[in-house]
Structure 1
Amino acid sequence: MGVPHFLLIPYPTLGHANPLMHLSQVLATHGCKITFLNTEFHHKRANTEVAGLDNPNGHQIEFVTLPDGLDPQDDRSDHKKVIFSIKNHMHAMLPKLIQDINALHVNNNITCIVVTVNMGWALEVGHKMGIKGALLWPASASSLATCDCIPRLIDDGTIDSDGNPTRKQEIQLSPNMPMMDTANFPWCGLGKILFHHIAQEMQTIKLGDWWLCNTTYDLEPAAFTISPILLPIGPLMESDTNKSSIWQGDTTCIDWLDQQPPQSVIYVAFGSSALIDRNQFKELALGLDFLNKPFLWVVPPCNDNKANNTYPDEFHGSKGKIVGWTPQKKILNHSAIAYFISHCGWNSTIEGVCAGVPFLCWPLVKDQFVNKSYICDVWKVGVGLDKDENGLISKGEISKKVEQLVGDEGIKERSSKLKELTLNNIAEGGHSSKNLENFISWAGS
Structure 2
Amino acid sequence: MAAPHVLALPFPAQGHVIPLMELSHRLVQHGVKVAFVNTELNHALILGALVSKDGSSRLGGVDMVSIPDGLGDGEDRKNLARLAEAFSEVMPGELEKLMGRVSDSSVSAGGEELTWMIADASMAWAFPVARRLGLRVAAFNPSSVAMFAMRMSIPELIRDGVVDEKGLPKRRGTFRLAPAMLPLDTTELSWNRAGDPKGQPVILDLILRNNAATHLAEAVVISSVQELEPGAFALFPEVLTVGPLVSAEYKPAGSFWAEDDSCAAWLDAQPAGSVVYVAFGSFAIFDRAQLVELAEALALTSRPFLWVVRPDSASEQWLEDLRCRAGPRGRIVSWCPQQLVLAHASTACFLSHCGWNSTMEGLVNGLTFLCWPYFTDQFLNRSYICDVWQTGLQVAPPPANAGEAVRTVEREVIRGKIEDLLGDEEIKVTTVRWMALGRQMGGRMLQRVTCCTPDSSPSYRTARRNAL
Common fold, TM-score beyond 0.5? yes
Q: 1:317 offset after TM fit, Å? A: 2.9
Deviations 1:269-319 (A, max 9, x none): 110110123332221111011111100011100112189879479834331
| Paired residue type of 1:366 | T
Contact 1:244 1:327 in 2 (8 A): no
Higher RCO (C-alpha under 8 Å, 6+ residues apart)? 2
Q: 1:54 offset after TM fit, Å? A: 5.6
Aligned counterparts, 1:11-30, within 5 A: 11-30=11-30
Identify which of 224, 244, 253 aligns with 1:244: 253
Q: 1:413 offset after TM fit, Å? A: 2.2
Q: 1:123 offset after TM fit, Å? A: 0.9
| Alignment match, 1:324 | 334
Identify which of 133, 137, 144 aligns with 1:140: 144
Identify which of 344, 353, 367 aligns with 1:343: 353
Paired with 2:370 and 2:376, the residues of 1 have a C-alpha distance of 18
> For residues 115 and 435 of structure 1, do their structure 2 counterparts lie closer, same or farther at Cα, with a shift above 3 Å needed?
same
Deviations 1:146-176 (A, max 9, x none): 0000110011111111100011121111212
Contact 2:349 2:422 in 1 (8 A): no
Long gaps (5+) in structure 2: 400-405, 460-468
| Stretch moving more, 312-321 or 228-237 | 312-321
Q: 1:240 offset after TM fit, Å? A: 4.0
| Alignment match, 1:108 | 112
Contact 1:387 1:393 in 2 (8 A): no
> For residues 371 and 444 of structure 1, do their structure 2 counterparts lie closer, same or farther at Cα, with a shift above 3 Å needed?
closer
| Alignment match, 1:85 | 86
Deviations 1:123-162 (A, max 9, x none): 1111112211111112222111100001100111111111
Identify which of 448, 453, 457 aligns with 1:435: 448
| Alignment match, 1:406 | 422
| Alignment match, 1:130 | 134
Paired with 1:88 and 1:240, the residues of 2 have a C-alpha distance of 39
Contact 2:276 2:303 in 1 (8 A): yes
SS in 2 for 1:377: helix
Aligned counterparts, 1:26-41, within 5 A: 26-41=26-41
Q: 1:66 offset after TM fit, Å? A: 1.4
SS in 2 for 1:243: coil
Paired with 1:434 and 1:313, the residues of 2 have a C-alpha distance of 45
Identify which of 424, 431, 441 aligns with 1:415: 431
Contact 1:329 1:351 in 2 (8 A): yes
| Stretch moving more, 409-418 or 26-35 | 409-418
| Paired residue type of 2:134 | G
Paired with 1:241 and 1:28, the residues of 2 have a C-alpha distance of 15
Contact 2:141 2:222 in 1 (8 A): yes
Q: What is the number of residues matched between the two proteins? A: 438
Asked if 1:396 corresponds to 2:405, the answer is no
Deviations 1:372-405 (A, max 9, x none): 1111111111112235999333222222222223
| Alignment match, 1:43 | 43
Paired with 2:158 and 2:318, the residues of 1 have a C-alpha distance of 37
| Alignment match, 2:281 | 271
Asked if 1:118 corresponds to 2:118, the answer is no
| Paired residue type of 2:246 | M
Contact 2:47 2:57 in 1 (8 A): no
Instruction: Give the share of equivalent positions with the same residue, in percent.
Output: 35
Deviations 1:91-112 (A, max 9, x none): 1132232222222223411111
Deviations 1:3-36 (A, max 9, x none): 3211001121111111111110011011101111
| Alignment match, 1:161 | 165
Paired with 1:444 and 1:202, the residues of 2 have a C-alpha distance of 19
Aligned counterparts, 1:375-386, within 5 A: 375-386=385-396
Q: 1:196 offset after TM fit, Å? A: 1.3
SS in 2 for 1:104: helix
> For residues 388 and 154 of structure 1, do their structure 2 counterparts lie closer, same or farther at Cα, with a shift above 3 Å needed?
closer
SS in 2 for 1:436: coil
SS in 2 for 1:276: coil
| Stretch moving more, 321-330 or 244-253 | 244-253
Contact 1:113 1:131 in 2 (8 A): yes
Contact 2:244 2:360 in 1 (8 A): yes
> For residues 62 and 239 of structure 1, do their structure 2 counterparts lie closer, same or farther at Cα, with a shift above 3 Å needed?
farther
Paired with 1:392 and 1:94, the residues of 2 have a C-alpha distance of 43
Paired with 1:173 and 1:25, the residues of 2 have a C-alpha distance of 34
Q: 1:444 offset after TM fit, Å? A: 11
| Stretch moving more, 254-263 or 41-50 | 41-50
Paired with 2:201 and 2:320, the residues of 1 have a C-alpha distance of 34
Paired with 1:402 and 1:73, the residues of 2 have a C-alpha distance of 39
| Paired residue type of 1:395 | R
| Alignment match, 1:426 | 442
Asked if 1:356 corresponds to 2:366, the answer is yes
Paired with 2:106 and 2:47, the residues of 1 have a C-alpha distance of 26
Paired with 1:7 and 1:369, the residues of 2 have a C-alpha distance of 31
SS in 2 for 1:99: helix
Paired with 1:122 and 1:181, the residues of 2 have a C-alpha distance of 31
Long gaps (5+) in structure 1: none
Identify which of 287, 293, 309 aligns with 1:299: 309
Contact 2:145 2:232 in 1 (8 A): yes
What TM-score do the two structures reach when normalised by structure 1? 0.91
> For residues 312 and 438 of structure 1, do their structure 2 counterparts lie closer, same or farther at Cα, with a shift above 3 Å needed?
closer
Paired with 2:367 and 2:138, the residues of 1 have a C-alpha distance of 32
| Alignment match, 2:219 | 210
| Paired residue type of 2:234 | T
Contact 1:3 1:33 in 2 (8 A): yes
| Alignment match, 1:370 | 380
Paired with 2:188 and 2:411, the residues of 1 have a C-alpha distance of 26
| Alignment match, 1:97 | 98
SS in 1 for 2:101: helix
Identify which of 222, 226, 235 aligns with 2:244: 235
What TM-score do the two structures reach when normalised by structure 2? 0.87
Paired with 1:359 and 1:121, the residues of 2 have a C-alpha distance of 36
Contact 2:84 2:206 in 1 (8 A): no
| Alignment match, 1:186 | 190
